[in-house]
Chain A
Amino acid sequence: MANYKEIIATYKDKPGGIIEAFHAIQKEFNYIPEEALREAAKAFGLSEAEAFGVATFYSYFSVKKRGKYIIRVCTSAPCMVAGGDKLLEALENYLGIKLGETTADGRFTLEATECVGQCQGTPVITINGKPIPEVTPERIPEILSSYK
């Protein structure tokens, strides 16, 4: 696993590099650890509050530790009218967690997302970025079984 210090160093001298650094860190760790945030603030000459502000402004970034697989349920209108709300409830029940939480075994984190541009096959979820269209509550066990 790459060190976040190295990652930050790569983007340090680029104007606006902090967002690119956050992308790289999150890709590696699945979230942005607090120490990495502090480090980035120092490197880009921001206060910690400012760096935190940048990270939390963008919903793609997470400053909370997350599970191995991140399930995001699209809650934009086209998916919701296709049953996205019922799908979200079914996922909460199946995983035994609420939106924003991580399962006790650290396997799944459940999040909501806005439209991911797959509206041809609503409702949509993504698992670690991979879109899965036309998901019904009945299909949940089969879909999740391939994420060990």
Chain B
Amino acid sequence: MSVTRSEVAKAYEKLQTQAKKKVESLKEKPLVTVGTATCGRASGALEIFNLFQEEIKKNGLDVNVMEVGCMGHCYAEPLVTIYKPGFPSLCYGSVDEGKAQRLINDYLINDDPCFEFAMAALEPNDFFPTFADYPRGVYEYKIVMELCGLINPEDIDHYIAHDGYAALVKVLNMDPDDVIEEIKNSKLRGRGGAGFPTGIKWELCRKAPGSPKYVICNADEGDPGAFMDRALLESNPHQMLEGLIIAAYAVGASQGYIYVRAEYPLAVTRLQTALDQARSKGLLGDSILGSDFSFDVKIFQGSGAFVCGEETALIASIEGKPGIPSHRPPYPATQGLHGKPTLINNVKTLSYVPHIIRKGAEWFKSIGTPESPGTAVFALAGKVKNTGLAEVPMGTTIRDLIFYVGDGIRDEKKFKAVQIGGPSGGCLPESALDLPIDFDSLQEAGAMMGSGGLVVLDEDDCMVEIARFFLDFTQKESCGKCTFCRLGTKQMLEILTDITKGKGNPEDIDLLWELAEDVKAGSLCGLGKTAPNPVLTTIRYFRDEYEAHVNEGRCPALMCKDLIMYYIIPEKCSKLCDVCIGSCPTEAIYTRPDMLKAIDQEKCVKCNSCLVACPPQYKAVIKISPPRPVEEGEMKQDE
């Protein structure tokens, strides 16, 4: 080596000293941070950010305002944190203009921290509970999300001040084989879905003949219900980048790519900023930190084809071709981009790497389960109260995740199922709630970790319809190369559609099962191999719902439009109110001679507007399945 170990370390020390000074000086005066990841922006975070800036200027206050990423509490966006010397650092959720004004007047100008609408404190104190004091805090264990929402993702110094790139420095003084050994020892498994051991993949790529070699970060995140890769890139892009640089060093690559969806414009911008800043600090490009290792990274935008998340399709896409998967082997690790050895890892996988290098494989293995060590990042969506992101140790049960971290089901409804792992995953019922989640346990239950999307479903969700939604997705996204995937999913979709329309036959359920097995066996890539999972799991766990559709023309969840009708219960309807009439787009609701309202079933398009419009004190509009004539008085005692 042309440089001594101390030179690289010295170069880094200098960077870190500057960075720490800058970051510490920020908190010498009050600091307001606003979460402006896209989840925050969608809820108006930029407006709140601007408001703070303007008001602070107008009032001549000596206060810093800064953008940060997403802490995972997406249900409480826009999220504001205020650090004021002498006070605990406090987070405030769902901050609108009114709350922002109060924080400025009462807290920034005066000294009242507005405890009444604070969410939690960041560190233990005598006045206010921290996030760890909530039930959620017992289960959360943040590694890759630790800095998300706390640092400025557009300023590399924030990452460096928190030991960012220290792992890279350590690695530059190590033999690449030892780096791979450490990752292998840690038993880190790929977070892109399949859980393949990362260290083994790195070793394959390192040993593969050919040059140049490439490394690619897979940020195509296309699973419906998943948004953690977006949040990580928007909140702490350097963490992934450091992992990518380390991976390149370990396998001997000189060029890297980040393949990110065009649907994530903010992630693209923040990544671009991250790359520029890393280059200007000498952490990326020629002779990184003065060492003899050179490596650079390009961003490539995906273009709305789910199958491009599959590694061979992704490579085809970077080469400018339609993203159609090709047969493996050869695996990309030996023959990938432009026919050269190529390492592909997911955003989360790479984000764990700096932590493992800094804290060691043993530390990583002390978290999670023996076969799936570390944490998992889940995206909570659907009918759960606290939607957002949660990082918990592998092996946490689904129950803890939904009922403690997610705070249970919305609107006092009953839990029915959880769809886990997106279109390649499955729907698990109540009886699976105590399943510890890791790669292997989910596979056994017929689901998949996938990317970690968790969609919570309640009593109002029809399991046949859910299976149909997911199959409709994979059917459309099938690239069409394999006959089974192309035609088998199409036929399955037709059967499912028939069932939801009440046109199913009793033998359809078994036929679906057979087709599903065929598609699984006859497809080349993971898309087709896993596409039937939502159908298989819903039949396995909710066969009674399928049977009700087929045998009785009844949708137990009252969701399938063709199998329900709307009805106004005369005993509950108020003669004085007619909001339902106004809400109906087709004039299907009329006033009876006795002033009660009723629905003309011929005209009704089942748009649900009247049910939403009927005031809660009456709740007179209900759904009935199967549609049938109703005798007056029949529904009296029904709730």
Question: Which single residue of chain B is at the shortest CB-CB distance from A122?
Answer: B381
| B537 close to A (CB within 8 Å) | no
A120 touching B74, Cβ below 8 Å: yes
Which residues of chain B are within 8 angstroms of A129 by Cβ–Cβ distance? 263, 265
Contact with A54, one of B42, B321, B479 (Cβ below 8 angstroms): B321
CB of B542, distance to nearest CB on chain A (Å): 15
Identify the stretch in B147-155, B346-354, B466-474 within 8 Å (CB) of chain A at 4 or more residues: B466-474
A121 touching B263, Cβ below 8 Å: no
B469 touching A118, Cβ below 8 Å: no
Contact with A16, one of B225, B318, B469, B476 (Cβ below 8 angstroms): B318
Contact with A81, one of B221, B466, B476 (Cβ below 8 angstroms): B466
Which B219-240 residues have C-beta < 8 A from chain A? 221-227, 230
Complex Cα gap A60–B263 (Å)? 8
Which residues of chain A are within 8 angstroms of B381 by Cβ–Cβ distance? 78, 119-120, 122
A78 touching B607, Cβ below 8 Å: no
Q: A23-B301, A93-B585, A117-B221 are in contact. Are A77 and B227 (CB under 8 A)?
A: no
Contact with B along A3-43 (1 / 0, CB 8 A): 00000000000011111101100000000000000000000
Contact with A114, one of B38, B222, B301, B317 (Cβ below 8 angstroms): B222
CB of B604, distance to nearest CB on chain A (Å): 14
Which residues of chain A are within 8 angstroms of B39 by Cβ–Cβ distance? 118, 120-121, 133
Which residues of chain B are within 8 angstroms of A121 by Cβ–Cβ distance? 39, 42-43, 74, 387
Question: Which single residue of chain B is at the shortest CB-CB distance from A119?
Answer: B381
| A145 close to B (CB within 8 Å) | no
Complex Cα gap A116–B302 (Å)? 13
Contact with A along B238-255 (1 / 0, CB 8 A): 000000000000000000
A57 touching B75, Cβ below 8 Å: no
Which residues of chain B are within 8 angstroms of A59 by Cβ–Cβ distance? 303-305
CB of A57, distance to nearest CB on chain B (Å): 4
Question: Which single residue of chain B is at the shortest CB-CB distance from A136?
Answer: B612
B320 touching A115, Cβ below 8 Å: no
- Interface centre among A54, A126, A132, by most B CB within 10 Å? A54
| B294 close to A (CB within 8 Å) | no
Complex Cα gap A17–B317 (Å)? 10
Complex Cα gap A80–B467 (Å)? 12
Which A101-148 residues have C-beta < 8 A from chain B? 113-122, 124, 126, 129, 131-133, 137
CB of B437, distance to nearest CB on chain A (Å): 18
Which residues of chain B are within 8 angstroms of A114 by Cβ–Cβ distance? 222, 224, 304, 306, 473, 476-477
Which residues of chain A are within 8 angstroms of B419 by Cβ–Cβ distance? 77
Complex Cα gap A60–B221 (Å)? 15
Contact with B225, one of A54, A61, A77, A90 (Cβ below 8 angstroms): A77
Complex Cα gap A98–B388 (Å)? 33
- The interface size of chain A toward B, counting residues with CB under 8 Å, comes to 44
- Interface centre among A58, A81, A82, A118, by most B CB within 10 Å? A81
B608 touching A16, Cβ below 8 Å: no
Question: Which single residue of chain B is at the shortest CB-CB distance from A61?
Answer: B303
Complex Cα gap A107–B635 (Å)? 48
Question: Which single residue of chain A is at the shortest CB-CB distance from B468?
Answer: A77
Which residues of chain B are within 8 angstroms of A17 by Cβ–Cβ distance? 320
B455 touching A23, Cβ below 8 Å: no
A119 touching B226, Cβ below 8 Å: yes
| B442 close to A (CB within 8 Å) | no
A122 touching B222, Cβ below 8 Å: no
B317 touching A81, Cβ below 8 Å: no
Which residues of chain B are within 8 angstroms of A54 by Cβ–Cβ distance? 320-322
Q: A15-B338, A76-B224 are in contact. Are A131 and B301 (CB under 8 A)?
A: no
A116 touching B455, Cβ below 8 Å: no
CB of B72, distance to nearest CB on chain A (Å): 9
Which residues of chain A are within 8 angstroms of B319 by Cβ–Cβ distance? 15-16
Contact with A along B260-283 (1 / 0, CB 8 A): 011111000000000000000000
Complex Cα gap A67–B608 (Å)? 30
CB of A132, distance to nearest CB on chain B (Å): 6
A78 touching B225, Cβ below 8 Å: yes
- Interface centre among B42, B301, B306, by most A CB within 10 Å? B42
A77 touching B224, Cβ below 8 Å: yes
A76 touching B469, Cβ below 8 Å: yes
Which residues of chain A are within 8 angstroms of B466 by Cβ–Cβ distance? 77, 81
B609 touching A137, Cβ below 8 Å: yes
| B382 close to A (CB within 8 Å) | yes
| B379 close to A (CB within 8 Å) | yes
Which residues of chain A are within 8 angstroms of B496 by Cβ–Cβ distance? none
Complex Cα gap A15–B585 (Å)? 53
A119 touching B455, Cβ below 8 Å: yes
B469 touching A117, Cβ below 8 Å: no
Complex Cα gap A121–B227 (Å)? 11
| Sample (25) of A-B pairs whose CB atoms are under 8 Å apart | A16-B318, A16-B321, A19-B300, A57-B323, A60-B303, A76-B469, A77-B470, A78-B455, A81-B383, A82-B382, A114-B306, A114-B477, A115-B225, A117-B263, A119-B226, A119-B379, A119-B453, A119-B455, A120-B75, A120-B381, A121-B387, A124-B42, A126-B263, A129-B265, A132-B42
The 10 closest A-B pairs by CB, nearest first: A60-B304, A16-B320, A76-B224, A58-B303, A120-B74, A115-B224, A77-B469, A57-B322, A119-B381, A59-B304
* Contacts from B to A (Cβ < 8 Å): 38-39, 41-43, 74-75, 77, 221-227, 230, 261-265, 300-306, 317-323, 338, 379-383, 387-388, 419, 453, 455, 457, 461, 466, 469-470, 473, 476-477, 479, 585, 607-609
